[in-house]
């Protein structure tokens, strides 16, 4: 049996004070480690946000659970906006509401900036040091030394008992690992990019239903909108980079406005800064990144640095926060036995990171295409009914991913099986009429 022994105070370096690095720092300082973070950017808390864009994220069960464990959740509960389901806007502006789960099961819109700022503040209050304008250039993996460009532009070397790369999708820490033998690495871009656009408050009120994630599914492209505390919405347009309606083809003001008014007729009039937003806000790519191992000697990757995914399941940050919770659990179990901790961490998390990568790609199809399909609505109703009658046996995939801690790999495997069963159920040509009279018991039996 392993004893959770923690020897003399150990010093841990985290590269990146993003969402995951800052939360992990809170966990680690609470355990008594000496934690120093090096962050490339300047301190966002010192920058004015006047007129700045609000960017939000969907925080769900896995992320909230980690925040709860560190005691940081209370600050957010009051500013989170619960979203009970998807509000689908069809091409004629007709609305359909699809609940995400049972009553009380919501995902939550939070400001990315506020969340990051608060996590940094709590980490510092509890004893972590954060060095801003300090960019990691490289890691000497053999000697556990991080080479950092300090704010004056000079390279400095810092040694640690453990180095954690929480420096996001284009991680420098990972780059150092890529130079080592037998390091697997893959990245793939979807043909779509994204652009954030705003929908300001109308006469001091939300322009649309506040407690929903709004979706305008249009096949090859889609628009989504999440509510902000200032009663605006942040909209994100997902569009192919190239082709007929694409970021490449939409260049002139008239084309942009015509595309929006034609494609998203109820949203366009509410997006009063559309022209300016579209022309000035960046268009960004969407990448999935997988790599292995995540550990070399005493350096480990976590969050997007280890597993960046496309945003269509709203799980990237949630998965990164879950990484922190699992890592903390391993510290409880193995004390300072780093070899065991790091190995167990990568072994247990890698299959789950791979699974949520696949789930996120699958969900893009569901969001941009299927949610607009009336048969899909019936399918969701049948699944909700199955879950109501057989709450243990039939948990819909979305529920497993979003409202539970069930490992992502299990959610993917069981989800695929249930999808097959549901495909079969949906072949009934009379399903729209008959769905309430289905033999639900025999459907559930097909799982085993
Ligand atoms: C459009 C979009 C929407 C999303 N929506 C959601 C959502 O609704 N829900 C959800 O759960 N997830 C969402 N995500 C995913 C989420 O943003 C990421 O999973 C999350 O930010 C990962 O956190 P991180 O700390 O690992 O990386 P990051 O947030 O990228 O933070 C990395 C930090 O490291 C710093 N850094 C980078 N390089 C260096 C260096 N060399 N030296 C020092 N510091 C460095 C960066 O400045 C940054 O502060 C979305 C992503 C996108 C693109």
- State whether 55 and 114 are in the same domain: yes
**pLDDT computed for residue 2 by the predictor:** 44
**pLDDT computed for residue 167 by the predictor:** 98
- State whether 377 and 313 are in the same domain: no
Q: Is residue 1 part of a domain?
A: no
Counting the structural domains of the chain, the total is 3
Q: Is residue 383 part of a domain?
A: yes
Taking residues 282-287, what's their average pLDDT? 96
| CATH code at position 51 | 3.50.50.60
Q: Is residue 294 part of a domain?
A: yes
- State whether 46 and 137 are in the same domain: yes
- State whether 42 and 138 are in the same domain: yes
Taking residues 223-229, what's their average pLDDT? 97
- State whether 276 and 377 are in the same domain: no
What are the tens digits of pLDDT across the range 74-98?
888 888 999 999 999 999 989 999 8
- State whether 171 and 209 are in the same domain: no
**Taking 70 as the threshold, does the pLDDT of residue 197 lie above it?**
yes
Confidence of residue 53 (pLDDT cuts 50, 70, 90): low
Quote the domain boundaries for residue 273: 191-285
- State whether 159 and 139 are in the same domain: yes
**pLDDT computed for residue 262 by the predictor:** 96
Q: Is residue 158 part of a domain?
A: yes
Tell me, in angstroms, the distance from the centre of ligand 1 to residue 383's CA. 33
* Residue 317 Cα: closest atom of ligand 1: 11
* Residue 173 Cα: closest atom of ligand 1: 41
**pLDDT computed for residue 31 by the predictor:** 94
Cα Rg of the chain (Å, integer) = 23
**pLDDT computed for residue 8 by the predictor:** 54
Give the whole-number percent of the chain exceeding pLDDT 70.
97
Tell me, in angstroms, the distance from the centre of ligand 1 to residue 378's CA. 36
Query: What is the Cα–Cα distance from 408 to 358, expressed in whole angstroms?
Result: 10
**pLDDT computed for residue 365 by the predictor:** 82
For a mutational test of ligand 1's pocket, the pick from 304, 313, 349, 353, i.e. the residue with the most ligand atoms closer than 8 A to its C-beta, is 304
Query: What is the Cα–Cα distance from 316 to 398, expressed in whole angstroms?
Result: 15
Confidence of residue 385 (pLDDT cuts 50, 70, 90): very high
* Residue 148 Cα: closest atom of ligand 1: 42
* Residue 58 Cα: closest atom of ligand 1: 8
Give the whole-number percent of the chain exceeding pLDDT 90.
87
Tell me, in angstroms, the distance from the centre of ligand 1 to residue 381's CA. 34
**Taking 80 as the threshold, does the pLDDT of residue 9 lie above it?**
no
Confidence of residue 367 (pLDDT cuts 50, 70, 90): confident
Q: Kindly write down the DSSP assignment for every residue of 268-314, as one continuous string.
A: GGG-TTHHHHHHHSPPEEEEEEEEE-SEETTEEE-GGGTEE--GGGS
Tell me, in angstroms, the distance from the centre of ligand 1 to residue 55's CA. 12
Helix, strand, coil proportions of the chain in percent (round to 5)? 40, 25, 35
Taking residues 203-232, what's their average pLDDT? 96
Q: Is residue 404 part of a domain?
A: yes
Q: Of 317, 341, 363, at which residue does a domain stop?
A: 363
Query: Which residue owns the Cα nearest ligand 1 atom 3?
Result: 311
Taking residues 316-325, what's their average pLDDT? 98
Q: Of 285, 317, 336, at which residue does a domain stop?
A: 285
- State whether 152 and 31 are in the same domain: yes
Q: Name which residue leads in pLDDT, 5 or 87.
A: 87
Query: Which residue owns the Cα nearest ligand 1 atom 37?
Result: 167
**Taking 70 as the threshold, does the pLDDT of residue 48 lie above it?**
yes
- State whether 211 and 340 are in the same domain: no
Q: Is residue 148 part of a domain?
A: yes
pTM: 0.95
* Residue 60 Cα: closest atom of ligand 1: 11
**pLDDT computed for residue 75 by the predictor:** 83
**To 5 degrees, how large is the angle CA 157–CA 158–CA 160?**
145
**pLDDT computed for residue 49 by the predictor:** 63
Tell me, in angstroms, the distance from the centre of ligand 1 to residue 216's CA. 25
What are the tens digits of pLDDT across the range 84-140?
999 999 999 899 998 998 888 999 999 999 999 999 999 999 999 999 999 999 999
Q: Is residue 64 part of a domain?
A: yes
Taking residues 266-275, what's their average pLDDT? 97
Taking residues 212-240, what's their average pLDDT? 95
Tell me, in angstroms, the distance from the centre of ligand 1 to residue 392's CA. 34
Query: Which residue owns the Cα nearest ligand 1 atom 49?
Result: 18
- State whether 206 and 63 are in the same domain: no
- State whether 149 and 72 are in the same domain: yes
**Taking 70 as the threshold, does the pLDDT of residue 264 lie above it?**
yes
Tell me, in angstroms, the distance from the centre of ligand 1 to residue 9's CA. 29
Taking residues 367-390, what's their average pLDDT? 86
**Taking 90 as the threshold, does the pLDDT of residue 6 lie above it?**
no
What are the tens digits of pLDDT across the range 17-40?
999 999 999 999 999 999 999 999
Taking residues 189-194, what's their average pLDDT? 96
- State whether 84 and 183 are in the same domain: yes
Tell me, in angstroms, the distance from the centre of ligand 1 to residue 382's CA. 36
Q: Are 7 and 30 in contact (CB under 8 A)?
A: no
For tokens 């909209």, the residue is 235
- Name residues contacting ligand 1 (CB within 6 A): 15-21, 38-41, 57-58, 135-136, 166-168, 172, 194, 236, 303-305, 311, 314-318, 320
Q: Of 285, 319, 334, at which residue does a domain stop?
A: 285
Q: Is residue 104 part of a domain?
A: no
**Taking 90 as the threshold, does the pLDDT of residue 231 lie above it?**
yes
């Amino acid at each position: 049996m392993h004893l959770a022994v923690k020897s003399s105070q150990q010093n841990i370096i985290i590269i990146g004070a993003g969402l995951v690095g800052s939360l992990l720092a809170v966990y680690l300082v609470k355990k008594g480690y000496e934690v120093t973070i090096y962050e490339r950017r300047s301190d966002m808390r010192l920058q004015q946000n006047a007129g700045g864009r609000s960017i939000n994220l969907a925080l769900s069960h896995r992320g909230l659970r980690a925040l709860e464990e560190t005691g940081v959740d209370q600050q957010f509960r009051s500013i989170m906006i619960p979203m009970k389901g998807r509000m689908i806007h069809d091409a004629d502006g007709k609305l359909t509401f699809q609940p995400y789960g049972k009553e009380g099961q919501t995902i939550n819109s939070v400001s990315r900036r506020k969340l990051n700022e608060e996590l940094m503040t709590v980490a510092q209050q509890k004893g972590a040091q954060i060095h801003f304008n300090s960019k990691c250039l490289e890691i000497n993996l053999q000697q556990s030394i991080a080479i950092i460009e300090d704010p004056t532009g000079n390279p400095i070397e810092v040694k640690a008992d453990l180095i954690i790369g929480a420096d996001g999708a284009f991680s420098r820490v990972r780059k150092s690992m890529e130079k080592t033998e037998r390091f697997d690495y893959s990245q793939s871009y979807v043909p779509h990019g994204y652009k954030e656009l705003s929908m300001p408050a109308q006469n001091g009120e939300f322009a649309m239903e506040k407690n929903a994630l709004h979706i305008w599914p249009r096949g090859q492209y889609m628009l989504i909108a999440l509510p902000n505390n200032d009663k605006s919405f942040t909209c994100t347009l997902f569009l192919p980079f190239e082709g007929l309606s694409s970021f490449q083809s939409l260049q002139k003001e008239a084309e942009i406005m015509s595309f929006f008014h034609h494609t998203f007729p109820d949203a366009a009039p509410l997006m009063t800064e559309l022209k300016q937003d579209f022309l000035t806000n960046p268009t960004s790519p969407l990448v999935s990144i997988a790599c292995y191992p995540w550990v070399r000697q005493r350096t480990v990757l976590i969050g997007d640095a280890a597993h960046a995914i496309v945003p269509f399941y709203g799980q990237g940050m949630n998965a990164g926060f879950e990484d922190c919770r699992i890592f903390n659990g391993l510290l409880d179990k193995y004390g300072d036995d780093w070899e065991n901790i790091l190995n167990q961490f990568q072994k247990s998390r890698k299959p789950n990171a791979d699974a949520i990568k696949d789930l996120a790609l699958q969900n893009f199809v569901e969001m941009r295409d299927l949610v607009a399909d009336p048969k899909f609505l019936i399918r969701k109703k049948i699944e909700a009914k199955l879950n109501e009658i057989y709450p243990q046996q039939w948990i819909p995939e979305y529920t497993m991913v979003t409202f539970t801690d069930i490992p992502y790999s299990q959610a993917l495997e069981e989800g695929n099986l249930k999808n097959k069963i549901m495909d079969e159920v949906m072949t009934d040509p009379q399903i729209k009429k008959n769905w309430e009279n289905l033999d639900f018991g025999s459907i559930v039996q097909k799982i085993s």
